[in-house]
Amino acid sequence: MDPRQQELAARIAGRRGAVRGPFRVWLHSPEMCERAESLGAFARFDCSLPTHLRELSLLMAARNWDAQYSWNAHVHQAVEAGIPEAAVRAVAERRDAEADFADAADRAFYRFCREILEDHFVAEETFARALAHFGAKGLVDTIGALGNFTMLGMCLNAFQVDLQADKEPPFPDIRGYARVVPEATP
């Protein structure tokens, strides 16, 4: 690594404990790495969303992009932060998890994230519900977090970042870096 890469690696390790996952890739472009690390730190640690919803947005973006590394790195943190295990399983299996959230704000957040990730648009009613709970700042932070975690998933998959061999594959339809083709039924 050149001096700039070494400086960034030291900063990342200081904040995150080590240089892992996508940062090992992003360090090839120090300017990109610095900006991605800054946005990622904001999305994970400093945005206006409560911790459990930050973790939920990460899991939802990870599943949307089949980013197994991100999922495995955060699934336990999401549950510990308060995301119901039933909701986590539903997201992993691409089932609707809205009913698994007891809190109306959590349901509104989940629906907002699901619609923007899957449909690329948000219904007016969904937007209004989420806005009522989180305000404009919260929704901007949500989009920023989802965008960051989307970029993260794309990086992890494109560069085939370590799948953590000691972890169970989290998604039923993904093995390695490919979709599992369902067997045809006779």
Question: What are the pLDDT digits (tens) for 119-128?
Answer: 999 999 999 9
C-alpha separations of 91 from 19, 39, 66, 86, 96 in Å: 28, 24, 11, 9, 7
Q: State residue 54's pLDDT score.
A: 97
**185 burial level (CB within 10 Å; 0-12, 13-18, 19+):** exposed
Q: State residue 180's pLDDT score.
A: 85
Q: State residue 184's pLDDT score.
A: 58
Topology classification of domain 49-169 = AhpD-like (1.20.1290)
| Domain locations in the chain as residue ranges | 1-46, 49-169
Q: What are the backbone dihedrals phi and psi of residue 18, each rounded to the nearest 5 degrees, phi first?
A: -170, 165
Distance CA(86)–CA(76), nearest Å, equals 13
Distance CA(151)–CA(146), nearest Å, equals 9
Q: With H, G, I as helix, E, B as strand and everything else as coil, classify residue 170.
A: coil
Query: What number of CA atoms fall less than 13 Å from residue 85's CA on the CB side?
Result: 2
Q: State residue 26's pLDDT score.
A: 94
Backbone Cα Rg of the chain:
17
Query: Quick check: 55 and 81 in contact, CB under 8 A?
Result: yes
Look at residues 102, 109, 120, 108 and name the one whose alpha carbon lies nearest to residue 142. 109
Q: State residue 85's pLDDT score.
A: 98
Per-residue pLDDT tens digits for 48-76: 999 999 999 999 999 999 999 999 999 99
Q: State residue 131's pLDDT score.
A: 98
Q: What is the pLDDT along the chain (186 residues), one digit of tens a residue?
A: 899 999 999 999 998 889 988 999 999 999 999 999 899 989 999 999 999 999 999 999 999 999 999 999 999 999 999 999 999 999 999 999 999 999 999 999 999 999 999 999 999 999 999 999 999 999 999 999 999 999 999 999 999 998 877 888 899 999 888 888 766 566
